[in-house]
Chains A and B, each alone.
Chain A
Amino acid sequence: MGCMTVCSKVWVIDNEPVADGLWRLTLGQLSGIEAVRPGQFIQLRLGEGSEHILSRPFAVSSATTLTGASPGLSVTFFYQVVGRGTDRLARVLPGEFLQLLGPLGNGWQPPPTTRRPLLIGGGVGFAQLNWYADFFPDAEEVHLLIGARNKAWVHALTGWPSLYGPEEMHDVDVLLTSRAAVPTKRHTATDNGELGHHGTNVELMAQLMEKTDFDYVAACGPLPMMRQVARLAQERNIYCEVSLESHMACGIGACMGCMISTTAAARRVCADGPVFNAWEVLW
């Protein structure tokens, strides 16, 4: 596992809506946590008090080391307001402290020989992949594919500079060379057609596979999307990882609340995952 899991109170730096129904939360001063890897998650309590007694798991979408007056690790993640818990989280103000447990989970484990990875995300699931794309220093090119409901979501989740208008985005291959050594190709699909492919990210993935010989696929998003991605990858014999979600209580492997079925056995999403070999998941 590497880095030890610690429980601490962390400072809310920022918590704001960035698109319709989509929020971004940044936490600072993660004392005791040295590093977080892409694919790992944290468990976060939703404010003080006893109304919300269970922490919620959130995939870390980026981690940076702060310097200056308040040094330490800072993490950012995106969440959708979907129920009572996330509605409470949306009312947390900068300056408040929240209880955090982490880092948790295994993180992505791409084969070291990966040359042309495709990182495909649906909605809020995409957020961590932008960060994950930095972890392929030896690849020829990294492909990022986001599917989201509209332009606002794409801009919020990707942070990709809006240097290209809708016309350029209509062309699915936008090559940007700003990322250090490895060329990154960015692909967009929107439900309403505001940007990129008008349709699903899975449709766009199928198109891309006709042109590019991917050797690794990482998927994070709604379950039906990941199931389709896994099938497409398996049809072409491409190694595929998926990051699964589940209702969780403890987050550390003790309560057996978040089990999924795999070809090997029932596994705990929190402690054995959340990243699984897509071929082993019994969809």
Chain B
Amino acid sequence: MSVNMAVSLGGLHMKNPLTSASGTFASGREYAAIWAAATGGSLGQATATGDADTDADSALLAVGAGGSPAADDTGQSAWLPLSCLGAVTVKGLSLNPWSGNNGIRVTETASGMLNSIGLQNPGVEAFCSADLPWLATQDVPVIVNVSGHTAREYEAVIERLEVEPAVSAYELNVSCPNVDEGGMSFGIDPSAAAELTAGCRALSKRPLIVKLSPNVTDITEVARAVEAAGADAISLINTVAGMAIDVRSRRPLFERAVAGLSGPAIKPIALWAVYRVHQAVGLPLLGMGGVRDVQDVVEFMLAGACAVAVGTANFSDPMTLPRLVAELEDWCASEGVKDIQELIGGVGQ
């Protein structure tokens, strides 16, 4: 049975609901290389690599089946691994380069991890010259995550990207807990979030997604505010504020004390946020938070997500995304789901 896997996320056509979560995937080159290696560089050479590799096999099939052929520099057919995804969401970009935070930046927690990267990025100009030309050849929609210290900086990034045809959509990061100015300070205040959204909205007709923080009393308040300000979609959730302490030094493990919790530990929080926001607003949602298997993807869609992003699970297993692409379609087929959009908000009372 063939399943229609395509969804529309606020005007962004995705051939399936899966994308990467910003900040876990850089611009996709590193993962593309590993996915390509898994297929032996081309579908024709892809073979099962051993009895122990059943997990990798389904991922390999997804890269092969979803990956598009293209002529490479040598004129030979190459495969474009990222094109198995509904979209690629790249790491947050700011107007100027940001060096990120000092000290320890990541640590594992029970079924999760804390990060304090601090939105390190080379700035929008470097992205446009170094990564975007490559992404433009990968046959996959590109969602650019946008950050800034001020509203003006967010707008400047969008203005720069408006002239780049390879960009498909924007995701405004108003929810990063790891920077002092900008980031989450916009996302925990409904009026500030709305003002920022309206300012960016005026600059672009491309799908505008606003990424919300769970670190608020009522996430639906912020969701309604950005809907009214002209957002096309909402993504949620960003990381949950948390901390860790080094008991030997008796100091916070991270220099800024606070860090962002992600991974399976936060999935119930994220699912609840998606469920509530889906009831509160009419916008399509990009759900994320601890997704690691096909059941998680379906849960997020049933709770109201139109599309689903995978973040921390990329670190656990770099083959997660292509595997989920394959398994999601298999799941729909086995459950008699003809169109994956049937799932969106399909949870009963």
Contact = CB atoms under 8 A, between A and B. Distances in A.
A243 to B, nearest CB: 19
A218 B100 CA distance: 30
A7 B319 contact: yes
Interface in A244-273: 247-259, 266, 271
B21 to A, nearest CB: 11
Most buried by B among A6, A252, A254: A254
Interface stretch (B101-109, B183-191, B204-212): B101-109
B100 A250 contact: no
A247 B23 CA distance: 17
A53 interface: yes
Contacts of A31: 49-50, 52-53
B34 interface: yes
Contact of A8 (B33, B52, B117, B316): B52
Interface string B320-340: 000000000000000000000
A256 B120 contact: yes
Interface string B57-77: 000000000000000000000
Given A7-B319, A8-B49, A32-B49, A53 B30 contact: no
B277 interface: no
A54 interface: yes
Given A7-B38, A248-B106, A256-B105, A54 B316 contact: yes
Contacts of B292: 50
A52 B108 CA distance: 7
Interface string A1-37: 0001111111100000000000000000101100000
B318 to A, nearest CB: 5
B317 interface: yes
Given A53-B263, A99-B317, A250-B24, A5 B107 contact: no
Contact of A6 (B30, B37, B104): B37
Interface residues of B, number: 42
Contacts of B127: none
A173 to B, nearest CB: 38
Contacts of A29: 50, 52
Contacts of A249: 106, 113, 115, 312, 315
Contacts of A84: 108
Q: Which of A45, A54, A99 has the most CB of B within 10 A?
A: A54
Contacts of B105: 247, 256-259
Contacts of B110: 51
Contacts, number: 122
Nearest to B31: A254
A249 B317 CA distance: 11
Given A31-B49, A253-B26, A254-B31, A7 B318 contact: yes
Given A4-B37, A250-B315, A253-B30, A53 B120 contact: no
Contact of A5 (B37, B111, B115): B37
B25 A254 contact: yes
A21 to B, nearest CB: 16
Contacts of B286: none
A184 interface: no
Given A6-B38, A8-B56, A256-B120, A54 B318 contact: no
A254 B30 contact: yes
Nearest to A46: B108
Given A5-B37, A250-B30, A256-B100, A54 B315 contact: yes
B200 to A, nearest CB: 25
Contacts of B53: 8-9, 31
Contacts of B4: none
B342 interface: no
B314 interface: yes
Contacts of B26: 253-256
A252 B105 CA distance: 15
B120 A259 contact: yes
Contacts of A199: none
A146 B55 CA distance: 41
30 contacts: A4-B37, A5-B37, A8-B49, A9-B52, A29-B50, A31-B50, A32-B37, A50-B316, A53-B108, A53-B112, A53-B263, A54-B315, A54-B316, A97-B52, A247-B105, A247-B107, A249-B115, A249-B312, A250-B30, A252-B31, A252-B318, A253-B26, A253-B30, A254-B25, A254-B31, A255-B106, A256-B26, A256-B100, A257-B115, A266-B100
Interface of B: 23-26, 30-31, 33-34, 37-38, 49-50, 52-53, 55-56, 91, 99-100, 104-108, 110-113, 115, 117, 120, 263-264, 292, 312-319
The 5 closest A-B pairs by CB, nearest first: A257-B106, A254-B26, A9-B52, A4-B37, A252-B30
Interface of A: 4-11, 29, 31-32, 45, 50-55, 84-85, 97, 99, 101, 247-259, 266, 271
Given A247-B105, A255-B106, A259-B120, 12 more contacts: A6-B38, A8-B56, A9-B55, A29-B52, A97-B52, A249-B106, A249-B312, A256-B91, A257-B106, A258-B106, A259-B100, A266-B120
